[in-house]
Amino acid sequence: MMDADRIFDAIRDRSGDTEFYLPLPAGYKLGSAKYVVVLGTVMSGLGKGIFSSSLAKCLQDKGLTVAPIKLEGYLNIDSGTLNPFRHGEVFVLDDGTECDMDLGTYERALDLDLTRLNFTTSGQIYRRVLDRERTGGYLGRDVQMIPHVTGEVKNHVRELAVATQADVVFIEIGGTVGDVENAYYIEAMRQLAFEEGQRGVCFVALTYVMEPSILGEQKSKAAQLGVRRLMECGIQPHIIACRAQNPVTRKVREKIALFSNVPPDRVFSMHDCESVYLIPDLLRGAGYDKAVIEWLSLEAAVDEQVEQQARQAWSGYAARLRDATRQITIGIMGKYTAVRDAYASIIKALEHAGVHLGCKVQLRWVDTSEMTDENAAAALQGVDGIIIPGAFGTRGAEGKIACLKHARTTGLPCLGICYGFQMAVIEFARNVCGMTDANSTEIDSECRYQVINVLPEQKKIEGLGGTMRLGGQDIVIKPGTLASRMFGTRTRMRFRHRYEVDPRYLGRFEAAGLVFSGKSPRAEIMNILELPVDVHPYYVGTQAHPELISRPLRPQPLFLGLVHAALRRAYDEYDEVLVYAAEANSTSAPHTEQVG
């Protein structure tokens, strides 16, 4: 294998006929970082992001610095215009990047705030290549998939390594081996291993072991052929993870090992778990982390004391998850309810809050498209709280307003998120303030009371997405409110919306009892609303997306409040009062105290 010095010698000779094109970020030296590349075979939807983030957490727990990146094959520049029915939720990073939902999986597992460097698409890669070509960056060369497009992929992952100073970069390639749009990503990874030298890259193939009910046994042929397809691309996997409903038998793992040249002790089972947060312990128990450490020669970097503390904290969460005895039901009132991935972060945020409060949160999915004032009560019978999630467009809007009216008038705990926040304002305007024609201009541009509107400064920005308020924004909290108990005087959340509460109506809302307890520090932009706790046990809305920043060991306060209020509604004997971290003047996780 050609070593790093010989490659550098080749690319320094720009006037020669060398075929080596190796753009490197400033400060990067070949071999300075290690890489784990996770690829899928057989079929999509196996959970590469969950697997990769769990394995990355195992290494992070050992004291190593890890940085994940998702390489997507589609030509969209980002995920912002993707339909949730096709691709699940759009996850928004603090810097405003609209990306794949797997980035949320990484943030939650690793407790990291990621950036645009942690995500790229074919659209981004091609745009960078074409921009460079237009400015003469290729010195007159004919620009080709190899080495220029593949070179841009390698440059991007190395930029991430430099920016994060990561010991290990985890690279997840979307889709499966054999997808046309992923071929150049796979080729780039083959080149990466060639350039980084021996033990610089660990390839992990995630495959699928079928277990047809008609046969009653596990069949490995599809897995064998999938891994063989990867080897045809010039990549020899070092570890194989076998997804299956039940633990993969030794016989099947040995057969896969024989056909893939991977030792049997590096062919692992990755079977179904009750929760994704149990997977890190499953991987550790099977020896995945040890196999990666050994292949990348990172034994000297492992900090056993750090690992012990991290595993203890995570095991405590897993134990509380398994041992929870109480149960509540939260209704998700949306229009994408047929696709659970459209609300992936909300589901996880509820789980985080439930575990911390010692309960299991069951979900009831309610499509609001046919919801009215007349049938809302029947549809919500038996739920202990509801969430009105984010959305765009008109479908299901009136149903959400009907649900909010029912929750407000009956004391049902309620959390409105983004679009749900806007619908709460409209419902209050119509049914409390007497503005019967109140609406959002997104729904009805001719309505009399345009209580939700695009603000004038936003209308000046042109282009789809241009008027979107994206990413992390600071929020100033009003003293003496429920929000101040949760956050103190200031907090930060992530946003993805275009419409706002029109400030012309704020006086009427507040006079009627609606409290805007959080707003932007630089403009009259309302970010959090609530009803006083002596009026309603928990009626809160936020223009932000708080689900995006919830973590297993640091549940988001707005979800904690909802789950706690639902517990008190479900269990009459539940007399504990939630003490938030801000209220206790502490950074520790919120807890509960006995009344009296």
* Catalytically annotated residues: 418, 545, 547
Q: Are 93 and 113 in contact (CB under 8 A)?
A: yes
Phi, psi (deg, nearest 5) at residue 48: -60, -40
- Of the candidates 427, 451, 416, the one whose C-alpha atom is nearest the C-alpha of residue 544 is 416
Rounded to an integer, what distance in angstroms lies between the CA atom of residue 533 and that of residue 549?
25
Q: How many CB atoms lie within 10 A of CB 317?
A: 17
Which long-range contacts (C-beta less than 8 Å, at least 24 apart) are formed by 309-316? 310/60, 310/61, 311/61, 311/284, 313/553, 314/57, 314/61, 314/277, 314/280, 314/281, 314/552, 314/553, 315/281
Phi-psi label, residue 61: left if phi above 0, alpha if psi -120 to 50, beta otherwise:
alpha
Q: How many CB atoms lie within 10 A of CB 474?
A: 13
Q: Are 541 and 424 in contact (CB under 8 A)?
A: yes
Going through 374-489 in order, the beta strands assigned E by DSSP cover 385-388, 414-417, 438-440, 449-453, 469-477
Angle of helix 221-232 relative to helix 250-260, nearest 10 degrees?
20
CA atoms within 13 A on the CB side of 515: 20
Rounded to an integer, what distance in angstroms lies between the CA atom of residue 468 and that of residue 484?
27
Phi, psi (deg, nearest 5) at residue 266: -115, 15
Strand-pairing partners, residue 492, are 474
DSSP helix/strand/coil, 209? coil
- Of the candidates 232, 251, 284, 226, the one whose C-alpha atom is nearest the C-alpha of residue 240 is 226
Rounded to an integer, what distance in angstroms lies between the CA atom of residue 81 and that of residue 350?
26
- Number of H helices and E strands in the chain, helices first, is 20, 23
Element (H, E) at 260: helix 250-260
Residue at 271: amino acid letter: H
